[in-house]
Amino acid sequence: MKVLFISHKPPYPIVDGGCHAMDRMLRDFSFTYPNASITYLSFATEKHPFDKNSIPSDLVSSIDFMSTQISTRIHAIAALIHLFNKQSYNISRFKKKSVITLVTSLISKNKFDVIVFESLFAGAYVDEIKKLTKAKLIYRAHNIEHTIWEDLSKRESNPFKKWYLKHLSKRLKTFEFDFLKKINLTLSISEMDQSIFTKNTENDCKYIPVSMPSMKKYTGAKNSLCFLGAFNWMPNKEGISWYVDNVHEELINKFPEMNLEIAGSFSQEISHLSEKPKIRLHGFVDSSMDFISSYGIFIAPILSGSGVKMKVLEAMSLGVPCVLSKKASEGLNLPNIIPVCNSKNEFIEKLSLLLIDENLCKQIGLAGQEFIQKEFSTDVVSKKLITSLKL
Tens-digit pLDDT profile for residues 184-207:
999 999 888 999 999 999 999 999
312 in Cβ contact with 332 (< 8 Å): yes
Distance of CA 43 to the CA centre of its chain: 17
* pLDDT value, residue 219: 67
Cα separation values, 225 from 53, 120, 239, 244, 328, Å: 33, 33, 15, 12, 16
Question: Per-residue pLDDT averaged across 160-178, rounded?
Answer: 91
Q: Is the pLDDT of residue 330 over 90?
A: no
Question: Per-residue pLDDT averaged across 118-125, rounded?
Answer: 95
Q: Burial level of 215, CB count in 10 A (0-12/13-18/19+)?
A: middle
Q: Burial level of 156, CB count in 10 A (0-12/13-18/19+)?
A: middle
* pLDDT value, residue 221: 67
Distance between CA 178 and CA 126 in Å, rounded? 11
Q: Is the pLDDT of residue 128 over 70?
A: yes
* pLDDT value, residue 181: 96
Question: Per-residue pLDDT averaged across 150-172, rounded?
Answer: 87
**Single-letter residue type at 247:** V
**Single-letter residue type at 346:** E
Which CATH superfamily includes the segment(s) 2-211+377-389?
Answer: Glycogen Phosphorylase B; (3.40.50.2000)
- Going 151 to 157 to 158 to 163, the CA torsion angle's sign is positive
Q: How confident is the model at residue 70 (pLDDT cuts 50, 70, 90)?
A: very high
372 in Cβ contact with 343 (< 8 Å): no
Residue 98, C-beta contacts closer than 8 angstroms, at least 6 positions apart: 68, 70
Q: How confident is the model at residue 28 (pLDDT cuts 50, 70, 90)?
A: very high
* pLDDT value, residue 216: 67
Assigned CATH topology for domain 224-375? Rossmann fold (3.40.50)
Q: Is the pLDDT of residue 3 over 80?
A: yes
Higher pLDDT, 148 or 250: 250
Per the prediction, the chain carries an average pLDDT of 92
Q: How confident is the model at residue 89 (pLDDT cuts 50, 70, 90)?
A: confident
The percentage of residues in the chain with a pLDDT greater than 70, rounded to a whole number, is 98
Residue 385, C-beta contacts closer than 8 angstroms, at least 6 positions apart: 28, 29, 32, 208
pLDDT digits (tens, 9 = 90+) for 273-324: 999 999 999 999 988 888 998 898 999 999 987 778 889 999 999 999 999 9
Query: Which region, left, alpha or beta, applies to residue 231 given φ > 0 means left and ψ of -120 to 50 means alpha?
Result: alpha
| 224-375 shares the fold of 2-211+377-389 | yes
* pLDDT value, residue 217: 66
Preceding peptide of 56 cis, ω within 30°? no
Domain ranges for the chain, please list them.
Answer: 2-211+377-389, 224-375
The percentage of residues in the chain with a pLDDT greater than 90, rounded to a whole number, is 74
Q: Is the pLDDT of residue 214 over 90?
A: no
> Comparing 9-23, 129-143, 295-309, which segment has the lowest mean pLDDT?
295-309
Q: Are strands 224-228 and 259-263 parallel, antiparallel or unpaired?
A: parallel
φ, ψ dihedrals at 115, nearest 5°: -125, 125
Question: Per-residue pLDDT averaged across 53-82, rounded?
Answer: 87
Buried b (16+ CB within 10 A) or exposed e, 275-307: eeebbebeeebeebbebbbbbbbbbbbbbbbbb
* pLDDT value, residue 222: 77
Q: Burial level of 110, CB count in 10 A (0-12/13-18/19+)?
A: middle
Of the candidates 140, 253, 254, the one whose C-alpha atom is nearest the C-alpha of residue 193 is: 140
- The count of other CB atoms within 10 Å of the CB of residue 370 is 14
Q: Is the pLDDT of residue 385 over 90?
A: yes
Q: Is the pLDDT of residue 264 over 90?
A: yes
